[in-house]
Structure 1
């Protein structure tokens, strides 16, 4: 016969209900008690009967994940795989499974969310993006369904739990990094501008330039959706300007890889001719030549904290909704050069 909750409770000298609350990570249980009970659980080799728990609590023990693109497109980005790793770590710890949306369009993704909610296929949902024109979040708010967003909500800011970076500050930091190296002509390339993160980073870039009394020509601001041909046309146009940039802020490592490749094809050297700083600090940044200086937004931690927040909501319905801001830091590598002893003409 397998180890039961009563066996764990007896050895830990606590009540069975306390063991159940520890398994649910209830905030009503002290951290000291949690550590003690978890140690006993490990010693006895107790494994929760998830099916039985689900039936009793009317739970699926499954969390829905809403991707911002189709699963094929999203999983080829530098963001989704790492954030899913953080989500999976907490789901594994508390015995939850994951269900990804599989639609190829926004409408299909929305229909998938409707199936999750109306079919009671998941206990809660994590939305991996924030977008002003999105239909998923208003639907979840209307249904009063448990969910958390990665990214500051475009609406319902005081009503929704979310985990995010300070993207305005992160973009200011990236731009100031180049400014401190005496770059004055700095371009900005982001991904899809319909998402809040792209808009916030553009604001941060502009603020840093304006605070340093530097011009921001319209020709210096572009958007790129992970497409090499589009990137080739964009970079060629940018570097053909009468005053081409000496530095470029790119808000995603994958797009930065495209920019780096095009610059090489056009016979521009990074960092001698152009400096690049990107975002996400993914494995891409560490394997390019030269290696990319990149803003580490701690993607794994974004997924980790978001899932913890959602599970607390599920286990403690009265849990106060809140936001969590994850700090970002610049990981310096070899793609940026100082011009302080050699100002461009």
Structure 2
């Protein structure tokens, strides 16, 4: 049986109204009392039911948005402001607000989602990532809470509503584009392999090479964390291979920016010495020197479509899971050139 506000009041030896004021952070309640009540709430695993505090309300009119990492780190990546812009646009049209996760660790994010759902702080949740064996996604499925994923689920794909690009196909298309320019020695700097998007793009890269009769070389494959931690050494290793790559695919534009900066310091020219292409097509990419060829994955539309799917799911919980694939296209600029041509 769920813990009630009366249980908390009894355990803390205060009145239920005092507990309610502590939840609301009323300045009339002393810090000592607040601390005592909050300790009891934690011990009894009590989550305030904000919906129940207003019996007239049929919903919170709020959508929870969960990022894979802390908001401080996430907003360093232009992907998140743009996908949030799409979410806000659809939410605002339906008069919904947004509750953004603030947890710093995977454990904190999970605890926050539990609090959101058990406390009825939100009517539905959008996960802005898809991770291998994700505890949060498993939990949301287990309690049958309305949620949508931006990204293809690692497991139970058929039963989860999600919005994504066809990352395997678009990565293969990127390889084919470089092949059409005469490149065969193509390096790949992928993302964290614990995320499905990274796995799908790596799979597309490998499949396209296989189709072209080019063997996959482990030495050509790096993770973006390696570049971020010790980029100069990683790039040195690539350029000291017997057959050094003439083209490189980066997991996202931020990784490409870092690689180009390293190359510039080493006096390696893009695209004369190596062609570079990446994903996400951030607005800054067209202003880079040279302007960066990048895949436009329609980030705004990912957020917009995910929110519309969630609103539909909240309106009718019996709706079957839907899967929406957002188109993506290569935006050609000056960072890629035909092999051997300036």
Report the TM-score when normalising by structure 1. 0.81
Residues 1:274 and 2:274 are matched in the alignment: yes
Aligned to 1:284: 284
Q: Does 1:312 align with 2:329?
A: no
Distance 2:303 2:320 in 1: 20
User: What CA deviation, in whole Å up to 9, does each residue of 1:111-147 have, x standing for no partner?
Assistant: 1111100111100000011111310000000010000
CA distance in 1, matches of 2:302, 2:162: 10
User: What RMSD, in angstroms, separates the aligned Cα atoms of the two structures?
Assistant: 1.6
Equivalent in the alignment of 1:205: 205
Q: CA deviation at 1:298?
A: 0.5
- Is the counterpart of residue 151 in structure 1 residue 151 in structure 2? yes
DSSP-derived class of the 1:225 partner:
helix
Residue 236 (structure 2) pairs with residue 236 (structure 1): yes
Asked if 1:329 is matched to 2:307, the reply is no
> How many residues were matched structurally?
289
* Distance in 1 of aligned mates of 2:175 and 2:305: 27
- 1:111-260 maps to which residues of 2 (within 5 A)? 111-225=111-225, 228-260=228-260
Secondary structure in 2 matching 1:194: coil
Q: CA deviation at 1:157?
A: 1.0
- Check the 8 A contact 2:224/2:251 in 1, yes or no: no
Q: SS of the residue aligned with 2:168?
A: helix
User: CA 1:218/1:227 → structure 2, altered by over 3 Å: closer, same or farther?
Assistant: closer
TM-score in terms of structure 2 length: 0.82
**Residues 58-73 of structure 1: pairs in structure 2 closer than 5 A:** 58-73=58-73
2:227·2:259 contact (CA, 8 Å) conserved in 1? no
Provide the C-alpha distance between the structure 2 equivalents of 1:162 and 1:88, rounded to a whole number of angstroms.
18
Q: Which runs of 5+ in 2 are unaligned?
A: 1-50
SS in 2 for 1:109: helix
The separation in 2 between residues aligned to 1:122 and 1:299, in whole angstroms, is 24
Aligned counterparts of 2:178 and 2:227: Cα–Cα separation in 1: 25
Write the deviation string for residues 179-222 of structure 1: whole angstroms up to 9, x where unpaired: 10000100000121110000000000011111111132111001
Is the CA contact (8 Å cut-off) linking 1:293 and 1:335 kept in structure 2? yes
- Higher mean alpha-carbon deviation, 211-220 vs 305-314, is at 211-220
Q: How far apart, CA to CA, are the structure 2 residues paired with 1:227 and 1:238?
A: 12
Does structure 2 conserve the Cα–Cα contact (< 8 Å) formed by 1:224 and 1:230? no
Offset, 1:284: 2.8
